Amino acid sequence: MIILGIDPGTATTGYGVIKVPDDILGREFRYDIELIGYGNIFTDKEKPMPERLWTLSRALDDLIKKYQPDAIAVEMLFFGANLKTAIAVGQARGIVLMSSAKHKVSITEYAGLSVKLMVAGSGRADKDQVHEGVRRFLGVNGRRRSKLKLKWKGGHLDDATDALAIAICHVLKLAAK
């Protein structure tokens, strides 16, 4: 099963693609998660919002065609103090939802607190704890970890790492069923 995790945003949308055995349902503690790919979709901040959303839509179409995921996991919208940011993220989430429907790929939404709890062990985990949780779930053997040569702190890699955490959260929820 291939899962595409998405951390939506209009400036930067992170994505992470993982693969798990098809018999993941009911597995406990041995998930055999394989990292397939990760990265970011960037839009030009100087462009009008409709053009940025169109760029995001086309890039998501390309990702779905390339990886052919069986499921998409996306972070739910969190209404923090910045309403303007929340509206922009909501627009990006709408594009993600539309793309999943367009390609007939099931989509599941997860709250950020749930993702942190499942991947890092605490709903109040910071970025470093989430990143370490992602590393832990992607394995310790050289074959899987060697693909994870990222600078895990700061910059845009946070978005890709968060997307991987969302995908891993989906695996953990499936395995718990």
Give the phi and the psi of residue 32 in degrees, each rounded to 5: 50, 50
What tokens were used for 97?
A: 């939802």
SS3 13: strand
| Catalytic pick among 44, 70, 109, 159 | 159
* Contact (CB, 8 A) for 139 and 105: no
7 is catalytic: yes
Q: What is the largest CA-CA distance in the chain?
A: 47
SS3 156: coil
Strand boundaries in 8-136, DSSP class E: 12-19, 34-42, 71-75, 106-110
SS3 24: coil
| Catalytic pick among 7, 22, 28, 128 | 7
| Catalytic pick among 34, 75, 126, 162 | 75
75 is catalytic: yes
Rounded to 10 deg, the angle between the 112-120 and 127-137 helix axes is 60
**Residues designated as active site:** 7, 75, 159
